Structure formats: structure tokens, C-alpha cells
Chain A
């Protein structure tokens, strides 16, 4: 796996941003915190040192210079080891108390670096001076503990920041890597599909994260796609097969006509057979193109209004004649009045013609066909029922596919496209096409939902 892909992954980038923000935040907190701690410490020092000066001052005033100097010396010795400093200067400016060398020229609280008693490098002291009688008193404290606390604070903060940053980055890397792995698997699967393995499906983990949900949806689309592809493959094969037959027969007809011409006989009959086959072929192409056109327009609105009652009456009368001619009968059950639906008159007319012609073509003499238009709730139902051989339950869906012909229908006329066109027209009109058992026979119902005005 390419590491660059992981580092460019969204999860990783987000953690890098988050870590940067965290570090910046920590630096700010460290700076402010350090300053705050220092101030607090210094205030504490002042709180400790100021009373000492006041106390020594009180002693000098109440009990005189000698007592003051004794107490100052004792205090100086006691406090010196803990980093405190008490120094006293006499009127000449000579330091008479205090191990650490200091100068009395201090006016207010200030920070000075003082050399150690044995000449070691200087330490910072926080100092103030005051005049007591003829003497000058300097009190102060080493700033070393203050700095130690500040440094400890910064060190802890640094450790926490480093620790969090490492955890963040690691988590980001891991997440990014996981996402990358998943995406690569998706990519691999899609590549497989692209190569023609339409049955390949994307892996879906039980985690059900965003990628899994997308993968699940893509799997749904892939299933539709592979269904369409196999349908296309099989219908292409079916088209080739079904178009080959009339072509082969037309070729035979031409050969027969040529043979007749050779013999000096009249080739008219053979040529007319050929013409008939070619006309059939043209009709099939016409229907295929028509279905494609209707399907291609899917989703576009149909502007017109078609009176189904009028259409049913008109075509019913026409097909009554056709049915009677084949020794069958057609009953028309259409109520008076209008039954308008939104749609295309040409398409709906062809739909009904196909249904009626199917009933006549596949029905035996004595077949009773009923064309009816009924209201069911708010739906308009147009149905063609016959008492013919019907369609076996398992075939009822497949007859709607182009070129499908039930085995029982192989011997009768037709090109296997009639019901496919009906299906396209009903789909285009948002109508529901159902094939059911008329016991005996077939009932085809086209339901136009919500067509009855309230």
C-alpha cells in the first residue's frame, strides 16, 4: 500500500490539524501559566519577606541597634540555608551581616544576580532594601525554587502534549490506513466489475460505517447493473435469433424465385413470400425502436389527455369484427361517459390494440374476450380477459421481456414484442400492468392509479 495515500487520507490530515492546534494551545498555556506561577511565587516571597523587615524595624525602635543587629544576625544564619538572604549595612556602607555579598543600592523590589559565597556563578535573588536607624537592611530570597516550579510545570505540560500528539497521530494514521484499505478494496472490486465480472460485490464490514453504507448502496446499483447487462446480453441474443429466422426465410424465398426464373417459371409467389418476411422484419425493427423510444422518454411528462372509455369503445368495436372473423366473441363492458387519463393517445391505442390482438391470436375458436373499464377506488382499470389457454404462472413475468414467447405460443403468429411494448407504455404512463388467471384464460389489467377525480 502506498504510504502517501494514507498520509493524504482525510482522517490523518484531520489529526495533523488537531495536533497542531493542540501544540499551539499548549505553548500558549505554558507561557501564560509560567508567568502566572512566577507572579504567585513572587507574591508569596514578598508576603514572607516584608514582615521580617517590619519586625526588625520594630525591634530596632523598641530595643535599640544592638538588639536589632543580634536578631538580624540570628535570622540571617537561620534563613540563609533555605535560600533567604538578610544583610545589614552600617552607615559607611560596609556589609556587617550576611554571608552573600550584596550592595545596598536597592530602592524597591528588584531582581539581582548575586555571586555565591565561594565565587560560584550567580544566582538570581529577589530583593528589597530599607533603612533602619543608621543601618540599611536588605531582605531577599533566591528565585531558584520559583524557577524550578515553573520548569516543572513546563516539563509536565510538554510531556502531556507530546504524549497526546503521538496518540493523535497514531490514531489518525490507523484510521486513515483502515479507510485506505477499504477504499482500495472498493477500487479493486469496481475494477473487477469493469473487466466484466459483473457478479463481483463490494465487501461490507459489520461496522456499518459511512464506507459500508456507500458500499451497500453501490452493491444495490451493481446488482441492477448486472441484471441489466445480462438482460441486454440475453435480449441481444434473442434479437439476433428472432431476426435471423425471417431473414433466413427471405433468403430462401429469393433463392426459390431465382430458381423459378432459371426454369422460366413465374417467380411472383416466391417474391411475395420474401416480401412478407421482409415486411415482418421491418415491423420488428419498428417495434424495437418504438420500445426504445418510449423507454428513453421515461420520466418526461405526457402532455395529452386520453379518454380511455372512448378508446375502449372504439377499439372494442373494431376488434369485435376481428374476433368474430376468427370464430371468437368480444364483449365490451365500458360505462357511459368519459374516463380521461393523462397520456399519449398513440401509445395507449397501440397498447390496447396489442392486448386485444394477443387475445384473438392466442385464443381458440369459441374464445370469449371481455374488454372492460372499471373504477376501483380512485384507480381506473382497463382489462382484457379471455377464456383461451392463458399463461402459466411462472411465465407471467417473463412474457413482458422482449422476444420472450411461451412454448405454447411458439406455433402462433407474433414476434414476442407485443407485451414488451405494452409494458413500456404502461411504465411510461405510471400505470400498473398485471397478468392474472382468468380461470380459464388470461386477464391483463392496466391500472391507472389516481385517475378518477375526487
Chain B
């Protein structure tokens, strides 16, 4: 996958470029907003990661210019800590996702992967399936090994997010955003307790275990490998 990174902080850029390349992606790095814009206009890439504050042209203006020019490539905005309120502004300008600095590298990777997959999986599926677990999105029911699993609304939403990203890491922050719509870290065990509930219903009575904890990052749902 080809990724454009527009980031003027050399240390952050180095760290991200190394990490992405280690994960098998090809990365082009620019340090200036205008460079980022002309790169996107004349080159093809799968996703652009734009820092909000950049010399030359800020990330938001680059994004607006891109959208105005009809470029629909996925864009992930990076922002400084505490700037989360500006998130709405970014999303309204056409950003596909938003990540606040400092971030965990795996968080960035998980979001990049989720964003690029999204494009390919837009066709709405009526049912999600992981190993022997099926989630009926229309009837809003879950079945495993022929048994109906009773799920509460939040548990269902949680399972849906995990299963839509089956085989990939979903971070705690992503779950807070997608299931609870929190754009802040509530400093609570909300995610942990709900995962624990979900496990007791989805995994405990059955074998093998499907929901896996990725320590200090998040969770992943997948069948035996």
C-alpha cells in the first residue's frame, strides 16, 4: 500500500515512516502543506496522513483543496493533543478519520488499515462471520455453533466493530469512538467491562476463543490460525 505522510516534525515522521515500512507499506514523506497538495494532485496513493499544523499550508486547507478538486482518497488527520474539539471541523472538511498526538503507532496502523479497507468493503453486507460466529446485522442477532446469543445494544455494537475489522487490531480508543462516540479518554474501564461481558457470552460457553486481547493496545477477533 502506498501512503503519503505530510508531517513537519522530523522525529514523529521518522518514527511513523520506519513503522509503516516495517509493516510492508511504501511511504512518501513531505514536510510542507503545499508539497502535500501537489503530491496528491499528481501522484496516486492509497491514503494520505496529514498533520494539521504544517508550514506552507495547514492540513485542513490541504484537505479542503483536495476535496474541492474532487480527490476522494482516504485522509487521516493528525492533530496536537487537546485539539480534539477541532475534530468536527476536520471531519466536516472531509477527513475520514482523526488521530490525536501523541499516539501509539499500532493505533495509527490500525486506523490506516481500517480506512483503506473501508473503501473496498462499502457494499453493505447483511451478515458478518468470524469462524463459527455469525452476526446478523438486519435482525441484530448473534449465533454461534447454532446457539442464539442474547446481546445488549452496546455489546452488539462492540461485536460489530470487532467483526468488521476481523483479523485486525481494533484499539481501545477506536472502540470508544465507534461504540460510545466518546472523543475523549473517559479514564474508565468501560471498554474492558463490556469486552468482559461480551466474552462471557461469546467465548466462555464455546471453544475456541475468538476475542483476543492485544496487550496495552486493544482487541482483535479472529478464528484459530
Q: Which residues of A approach B to under 8 Å, CB–CB?
A: 272, 275-276, 282-283, 285-286, 288-290, 292-293, 317-319, 321-322, 325, 346, 349-350, 353-354, 357, 360, 414-415, 418
Contact = CB atoms under 8 A, between A and B. Distances in A.
Interface in B173-189: 180-189
14 contacts: A283-B185, A286-B81, A286-B100, A289-B81, A292-B82, A318-B154, A319-B190, A321-B154, A325-B189, A325-B197, A346-B183, A350-B184, A353-B182, A357-B188
Given A318-B194, A325-B189, A354-B186, A282 B85 contact: no
A321 B85 CA distance: 28
B225 interface: no
A290 B82 contact: yes
Contact of A293 (B85, B181, B187, B193): B85
Given A276-B216, A350-B182, 7 more contacts: A286-B82, A321-B152, A322-B189, A346-B85, A349-B181, A350-B186, A357-B187
Contact of A282 (B81, B152, B184): B81
Nearest to B82: A289
Interface in B46-90: 81-82, 84-85
Contacts of A283: 185, 187
Contacts of B186: 350, 353-354, 357
A283 B173 CA distance: 12
B153 interface: yes
B24 interface: no
Contacts of A293: 82, 85
Contact of B216 (A275, A288, A322, A360): A275
A318 B190 contact: yes
Contacts of A317: 152-154
A320 to B, nearest CB: 9
B73 to A, nearest CB: 28
B224 interface: no
Contacts of B181: 349
Interface of B: 81-82, 84-85, 100, 102, 152-154, 180-190, 193-194, 196-197, 215-216
A81 to B, nearest CB: 109
Contacts of B188: 322, 353, 357, 360
A321 B193 contact: yes
Nearest to B180: A318
Nearest to B183: A346
A353 B184 CA distance: 10
A417 to B, nearest CB: 9
A293 B84 CA distance: 10
A320 B185 CA distance: 19
A350 B190 CA distance: 13
Given A325-B196, A346-B85, A286 B185 contact: yes
Looking at chain B's contact residues, the main secondary structure is loop
Contacts of A414: 187
Contact of A322 (B153, B193, B215): B193
B190 A322 contact: yes
A109 B202 CA distance: 136
Looking at chain A's contact residues, the main secondary structure is helix
B53 to A, nearest CB: 15
A272 B214 CA distance: 12
Nearest to A352: B186
Contacts of A322: 188-190, 193
B108 to A, nearest CB: 15
A289 B193 CA distance: 28
Given A321-B193, A322-B188, A325-B189, A272 B215 contact: yes
Report which residue of B81, B82, B100, B187 has the largest number of chain A beta carbons within 10 angstroms of its beta carbon. B187
Contacts of A276: 216
Nearest to B184: A350
A286 B190 contact: no
A310 to B, nearest CB: 12
Question: Top 5 nearest A-B pairs by Cβ distance?
Answer: A289-B82, A325-B193, A357-B188, A353-B186, A322-B193
Nearest to B103: A282
Contacts of B197: 321, 325
B88 to A, nearest CB: 8
Nearest to B101: A282
A186 B181 CA distance: 54
A418 B180 contact: no
A282 B102 contact: yes
Contacts of A285: 81-82
A124 B4 CA distance: 115
Nearest to B86: A293
Contacts of B153: 317
Nearest to A290: B82
A111 B194 CA distance: 123
A349 B187 contact: no
Nearest to A322: B193
B76 to A, nearest CB: 19
